Structure 1
Amino acid sequence: MPQSPVHAQENKDQQVQYSQEHHPKMENKAWEWEEIEIDIGWGTLRGKAKGSGSQCMLGLHGWLDNANTFDLIAPFLPEDVRFISLDFPGHGHSDHFPPAFIYDPRGYVGSVKKAMTTIGWNRFILLGHSMGAVVGIIYTSVFPEDVEAFISIDIIKPTSYAPEKYATQYKKYFLQYLDNEKKAAQPALVYDEEELVRKTIEGSKSLDDRGARILLQRGARRIEEAEGLILTRDLRAKVYFIGFLSSEGWIEIAKAITCPLLFIKAKEGHTYSSAEEIKAMLSAFKQDCKHYCYYEMPGKHHLHLTHPKPVAECILNFIDECKSILQTGANDSVN
């Protein structure tokens, strides 16, 4: 689908609290998802799509979540936005990585790039929550020509370790990965539905009952003979992956991003770095950014599932602002 190129515009530094003024187009519309499959060579990525039009938007979910994570935001998106919410490898309905393939954001970035190339998306808005935002930060810095604008929900800077700690942390990672690889070969645990909902809420520390059930609709499947549910995710993906870059490395990645940026931070969300590191990361993001917005609002890490309307409103306002930037760029390219 043809997309308008982004051209340089004066950086706008906006760091504001969420306001209660509602977007004029806020409307929870009735719609249905379209299930999609994307063959990327070694396997198939699956997801769900809605809407049509020239504006493309890709949603990337958080660690151990799935494409259902944006179910409560999607109804507010404009009809002229083609929105795809994608399951990462080893999550939701997507195929698992082949044996011995390591799960971490770099592998996810490669999978997303292959998926976008396959469907012919060469310009799109990227929306990520948690791990999806980590993947989005890397993707946007590595493939800036692909991303018109980037939206992050409750991630500014991931955990990082000093280089002298890499060996110890990598050993911890690989030992856990190999242990989970053995466990993944064993029969899956079967859960009672209410037990699994409770475990999902407790494990996340940020989901409510509604959000947990939304994620489990895609993250678990029923086994009739066992009269229960099993999780669909690859157990190998459960290894805690964060920390493969130093703080200095993340700063340089942030500096490489120049497209419009929106950060939505939960006031009771997760914090992966010190206040000084987060301040430095935000400063790096703002350095050459065409348009910058930062919002803080009440809620925990999954605030897009527990407080979807204000999150959707922030996103709609940002898209409107970016449209004027993109239109200016399109006019400049004609002239």
Structure 2
Amino acid sequence: MTLQEKKYAVRFGDLAAQVYLTERNTPTLLMLHGWQDNSGSFAPLAQQLSEHFDLVMPDWPGHGYSDHKGADSFYPFFDYVDDLHQLILQLGDRPIYLVGHSLGALVASCWSAAFAERAKGLVMIEALGPMSEREDKVVERLKRGVESRANMKLPRDLPSLDAALKLRRGINKVSIEDLTPLVTRGIEQVGDIWRWRHDAKLKTESIYRMSTHHAEHLVRGIECPVMAIIGEDGYPELRSPMAEKRKAWFKNLTVEMVEGTHHCHLQSQAKTASLIIDFVTKLHLTALSDVN
């Protein structure tokens, strides 16, 4: 299996993607990476998954090889849902199943609610629907978000690719080997230095975050089966009392725990891939039997 580079034209510019597309009558996994990552986040799983599915692995706007948005765009969350929808429209009538990690899962959950008639299945890695916060935080959130734009810093320069790999290993607790596809896609050499490709505006804070009630209504709008894959040492919020309440919002949710931190899909690759394969295959076979 060899991943191919492809670009999808959307309103703001081009979304870059790594794809494995065939003429097989198989589901297509649309794999959506997390914040400040890129499609290389899923590269270590691609070989195993490609034995069963076609793959479309885009870089979000401002990430990886995708274009950056204009100077006036600070990547508000719901714009990602629109970007995703524009991409999905270009995939035609392929049976699409969404697999998202972190930010990718948050966006995919919202799209699955808004376009419930199209969503066939959703896998969320280290997520339980969109992020939210208490309504009384709205003023503080607005102030911090606006101030973060004024204080925006450019991505730090690094002396070598090895330094970038070691930096990400320290943050993500993932082996150098498994981080290499992500880091090499997310960095470029400029003269004697190495510089992250992602748009500096991505690091500014959101000026708005939806309330818990908004998040609940979105999750309750998801009709398709959902599987959440949670790292045993991932975000504590995903193992909190609030997380238990969130699980009850889903109509059809399966939760699986795997070893690892927030990037548990890279730390428990075989288990994660196996869970995805079993989940999507069963859904696809059920859909085929319903048609027949």
Normalising by structure 1, we get a TM-score of 0.81
Question: What is the CA-CA distance between 1:78 and the residue it aligns to?
Answer: 4.6
Which residue of structure 2 lines up, in the alignment, with residue 220 of structure 1?
Answer: 187
Any conservation in 2 of the 1:61–1:131 contact (CA below 8 Å)?
yes
For the residue of structure 1 that corresponds to 2:157, the secondary structure is coil
Matched, 1:202 2:170: yes
Q: Does the aligned pair in 1 maintain the 2:18–2:39 contact within 8 Å?
A: yes
Change (3 A) 1:105 1:71: same
* Structure 2: distance between partners of 1:242 and 1:81: 38
Does residue 309 (structure 1) correspond to residue 277 (structure 2)? The answer is: no
Q: Which residue of 2 aligns with 1:107?
A: 79
1:264 equivalenced with 2:229 (yes/no): yes
In 2, the alpha carbon distance for the partners of 1:56 and 1:273 equals 28
| Offset, 1:144 | 1.4
- Give 1 or 2 for the bigger CA radius of gyration: 1
Relative to structure 1, the CA distance from residue 72 to residue 269 in structure 2 (aligned partners, 3 Å threshold; closer, same or farther) is same
Distance 1:159 1:119, change over 3 A: closer
Alpha-carbon distance in 2 for matches of 1:300, 1:252? 28
What are the residue-to-residue correspondences of 1:135-154 with 2, within 5 Å? 135-154=107-126
Q: 1:98 to 1:155 in 2, by over 3 A?
A: same
Match of 1:133 among 87, 90, 105: 105
Which deviates more from structure 2 when the two are superposed, residues 194-203 or residues 269-278? Answer: 269-278
**Per-residue displacement from partner, 1:109-138 (whole Å, max 9, x unpaired)?**
111111222343564100000110011111
Q: Is contact 2:144–2:207 with CA below 8 Å preserved after alignment?
A: no
Structure 2 match to 1:245 = 210
Quickly say closer, same or farther: Cα 1:76–1:122, change in 2 above 3 A.
closer
In 1, the alpha carbon distance for the partners of 2:239 and 2:121 equals 26
Q: Which has the higher contact order (CA 8 A, sep 6+)?
A: 1
Q: How does 1:66-145 map to 2 (within 5 A)?
A: 66-79=38-51, 81-121=53-93, 123-145=95-117
How many Å apart are 1:308 and its aligned residue? 0.7
Residues 258-280 of structure 1, C-alpha deviations (whole Å, 9 max, x = no match)? 10111111111113367222111
Residue 98 of structure 1 and its aligned partner are, at CA, apart by 1.2
SS in 2 for 1:88: coil
State which of 248, 251, 260 in structure 2 corresponds to 1:299: 260
User: In the aligned structure 1, how far is the partner of 2:265 from the partner of 2:95?
Assistant: 24
Aligned: 1:45 with 2:15: yes
* Cα deviations by residue, 1:288-318 (Å, 9 ceiling, x for unpaired): x3xx321112111111112211100111111
Give, as a single letter, the amino acid of the residue that structure 2 aligns with 1:197: L
> What do the CA deviations read for 1:190-220 (whole angstroms, capped 9, x no partner)?
432222122212233x333223322111000
Shift >3 Å, 4+ stretches: 240-243
The normalised TM-score by structure 2 is 0.92
User: CA–CA distance in 2 between the matches of 1:43 and 1:101?
Assistant: 13
| Residue aligning to 1:26 | none
Q: CA deviation at 1:42?
A: 2.2
Question: Which position in structure 2 is the counterpart of 1:192?
Answer: 160
Cα distance in structure 1, aligned partners of 2:243 and 2:207: 16
User: C-alpha distance in 2, partners of 1:111/1:120?
Assistant: 16
Structure 1 residues 304 and 257: CA distance shift in structure 2, 3 A: same
User: Percent same amino acid among aligned pairs?
Assistant: 22
SS in 1 for 2:227: strand
- Give per-residue Cα distances to partners, 1:40-83, cap 9 Å, x unaligned: 13200001001423422200001100011111111112546221
CA distance in 1, matches of 2:79, 2:261: 27
- Which digits, 9 at most, give the CA deviation of each residue in 1:166-199, with x for residues without a partner? 111121122213322xx44xx9624322221222
